[in-house]
């Protein structure tokens, strides 16, 4: 333990957190060559972060402190969830995939829990780690702007006859990196509104960068969940009904303005259809039905061969409801324990013309598909335990430390809300996953701990 105390672990962790966030984002890049390099790098970064966090927690709390610290409902729920996910290799449709993704998510949970235990009752440490999470998101956003300046065509998704041009930055599609920006918007808001001096200015610039990227992407889920997180932070911080109403009105006005800006880009009527009308990977076989009508366009396709399809507006449906219904129907074939953790994108079949995605794009529907009612119940229990711990911390902390706990709570609420419209809670390759769970367990670090045994 004496040797551990001499190591500069916190500094290394404050570098490892944004490094992991950035490499995960690059692993979801539009370039296959970048993805092939970044995929092993983000796994290495995650393992490094997890190892550093465990050693840091052991140094700060000691082994007895760690034993006492994990005696919370949230830690128990996380352990049970990871155990069930690992056990699902026994009935998984792809056992190797399930084992790999269980290991990745287990490392993310373990790293987050260890960071929380190492920061227990230390608001200053929690604050520094939250700033590291925000720094990772800002780095990803700045990288996207750099690509926009150097290679505009790569940073923008071209407009089609039904879809306007959308900003994607370094992401594989416009919805990729903005999930990270959504869950970290409360952190930027916390710095911009509650910070002082230079920190307030930096927070305002970060908030403008993150929200501007979300607006440019046209992602409705990211915009509305980011607004929800900012609202939670400001309402919790405000004192009195009048200030809370003003905060809510300010967030509503800013969201309305963002929606208006997001509707400025328009589809290109001279472009071709919204998606390829044939399978580009199929051989030129005239008897191949998928060459003429893709399986993804089987249901709800418009009449007429030249019909461009439904025009996408910011508030129009994109077929998620159909995808959720179809995924639930698939899950009902294995309702208790599902098809195995991590198999969501392998089991789900997109057969809906208006929907574009390899998964149903909902963490809760996806969890039902993977681990059935058992897995869905465990995920909800884990979320509820973390929310309860964060709220308990909010009630018992003073004004300054309560602001830090409010930031953690707002990120957690944003992540859980984003999970309704994205598979962002359990897929470590998703840009928002590491940030969400890290902030959630950092919020738990400020909650009171069970008393130690005499």
Q: Within a domain: residue 379? A: yes
CA distance 404 to 397: 10
Token pair listed for 395 = 């009630």
Q: What's the confidence (pLDDT) of residue 393?
A: 82
User: 72 with 32: CB under 8 angstroms?
Assistant: no
Q: What's the confidence (pLDDT) of residue 270?
A: 72
CA distance 82 to 70: 15
The pTM is what? Answer: 0.87
Q: Within a domain: residue 113? A: yes
List the domain range (segments joined by +) for residue 158. 70-266+358-445
CA distance 247 to 255: 12
How many structural domains are present in the chain? 1
User: 439 with 113: CB under 8 angstroms?
Assistant: no
Q: What's the confidence (pLDDT) of residue 333?
A: 92
Tell me the pLDDT tens digit for each residue of 223-238: 999 999 999 999 988 8
CA distance 340 to 86: 9
CA 225-339-342 angle, to 5 degrees, is 50
CA distance 219 to 164: 12
Tell me the pLDDT tens digit for each residue of 178-206: 999 999 999 999 999 887 888 999 999 99
Half-sphere exposure of 105 (CA within 13 A, CB side): 24
CA distance 201 to 192: 7
User: 168 with 155: CB under 8 angstroms?
Assistant: yes
CA distance 438 to 443: 9
Q: Within a domain: residue 286? A: no
CA distance 433 to 21: 9
Q: Within a domain: residue 106? A: yes
CA distance 28 to 38: 8
Beta-ladder partners of 157:
166
- Comparing CA positions, the residue from 136, 134, 145, 187 lying closest to residue 168 is 145
Q: What's the confidence (pLDDT) of residue 1?
A: 47
Token pair listed for 405 = 């706990």
Q: List phi, psi (to 5°) of 148.
A: -60, -40
CA 449 to chain centre: 28
pLDDT one digit per residue (tens) for the chain, 454 residues: 455 455 588 889 999 999 999 999 999 998 999 999 999 999 999 999 999 999 999 888 777 777 777 888 999 999 999 999 999 999 999 999 999 999 999 999 999 999 999 888 888 999 999 999 999 999 999 999 999 999 988 898 887 766 788 899 999 889 899 999 999 999 999 999 887 888 999 999 999 999 999 999 988 889 999 999 999 999 988 888 888 899 999 999 999 999 888 888 877 777 654 444 334 444 445 555 555 455 555 555 555 544 455 555 555 556 677 888 888 888 899 999 999 999 988 888 777 766 766 778 889 999 999 999 999 999 999 999 999 988 888 877 777 788 898 999 999 999 999 999 888 899 888 899 999 999 999 998 887 665 444 4
Q: Within a domain: residue 297? A: no
CA distance 341 to 270: 43
- Comparing CA positions, the residue from 415, 421, 302 lying closest to residue 359 is 421
Please state at what angle helix 220-237 crosses helix 178-194, rounded to 10 degrees: 20
CA distance 217 to 165: 9
Q: Within a domain: residue 11? A: no
Q: List phi, psi (to 5°) of 293.
A: -145, 110
CA distance 452 to 225: 38
151, burial (CB in 10 Å: exposed 0-12, middle 13-18, buried 19+): exposed
Q: Within a domain: residue 60? A: no
Q: What's the confidence (pLDDT) of residue 453?
A: 42
Q: What's the confidence (pLDDT) of residue 349?
A: 79
Token pair listed for 240 = 């009195």
Q: Within a domain: residue 45? A: no
Half-sphere exposure of 163 (CA within 13 A, CB side): 21
């Amino acid at each position: 333990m004496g040797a551990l105390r001499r190591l500069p672990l916190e500094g290394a962790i404050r570098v490892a957190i944004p490094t992991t966030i950035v490499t995960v984002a690059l692993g979801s890049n539009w370039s296959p060559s970048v993805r092939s390099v970044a995929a092993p790098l983000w796994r290495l970064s995650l393992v490094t972060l997890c190892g550093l966090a465990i050693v840091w927690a052991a140094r700060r709390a000691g082994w007895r402190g760690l034993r006492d610290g994990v005696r919370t409902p949230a830690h128990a729920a996380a352990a049970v969830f990871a155990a069930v996910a690992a056990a699902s290799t026994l009935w998984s449709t792809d056992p190797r995939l399930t084992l790999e993704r269980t290991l990745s998510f287990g490392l993310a949970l373990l790293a987050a829990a260890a960071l929380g235990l190492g920061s227990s009752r230390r608001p200053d440490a929690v604050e520094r780690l939250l700033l590291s999470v925000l720094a990772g998101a800002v780095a990803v956003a700045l990288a996207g702007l750099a690509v926009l300046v150097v290679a505009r065509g790569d940073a923008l998704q071209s407009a089609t006859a039904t879809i306007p041009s959308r900003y994607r930055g370094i992401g594989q599609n416009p919805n990729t990196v903005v999930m990270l920006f959504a869950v970290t918007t409360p952190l930027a808001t916390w710095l911009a509104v509650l910070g002082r001096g230079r920190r307030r200015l930096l927070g305002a610039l970060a908030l403008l960068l993150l929200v501007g990227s979300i607006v440019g992407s046209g992602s409705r889920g990211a915009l509305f969940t980011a607004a929800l997180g900012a609202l939670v932070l400001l309402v919790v911080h405000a004192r009195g009904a009048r200030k809370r109403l003003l905060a809510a009105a300010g967030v509503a006005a800013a969201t309305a303005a963002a929606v208006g800006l997001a509707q400025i880009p328009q589809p290109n009527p001279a472009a071709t259809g919204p998606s390829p009308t044939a399978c580009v990977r199929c051989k030129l076989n005239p008897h191949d039905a998928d060459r003429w009508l893709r399986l993804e366009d089987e249901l709800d396709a418009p009449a007429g061969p030249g019909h461009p399809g439904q025009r996408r507006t910011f508030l129009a449906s994109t077929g998620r409801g159909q995808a959720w219904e179809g995924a639930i129907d698939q899950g009902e074939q294995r309702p208790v324990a599902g098809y195995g953790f991590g198999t969501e994108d392998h089991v789900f079949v997109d057969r809906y013309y208006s929907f574009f995605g390899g998964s149903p794009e909902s963490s809760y529907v996806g969890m039902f598909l993977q681990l059935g009612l058992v897995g869905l119940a465990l995920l909800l229990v884990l979320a509820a335990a973390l929310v309860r711990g964060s709220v308990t911390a909010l009630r018992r902390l003073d004004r300054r430390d309560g602001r830090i706990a409010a930031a953690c709570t707002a990120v957690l609420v944003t992540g859980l809300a984003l999970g309704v419209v994205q598979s962002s809670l359990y897929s470590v390759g998703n840009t928002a996953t590491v940030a969400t769970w890290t902030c959630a367990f950092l919020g738990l670090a400020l909650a009171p701990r069970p008393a130690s045994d005499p």
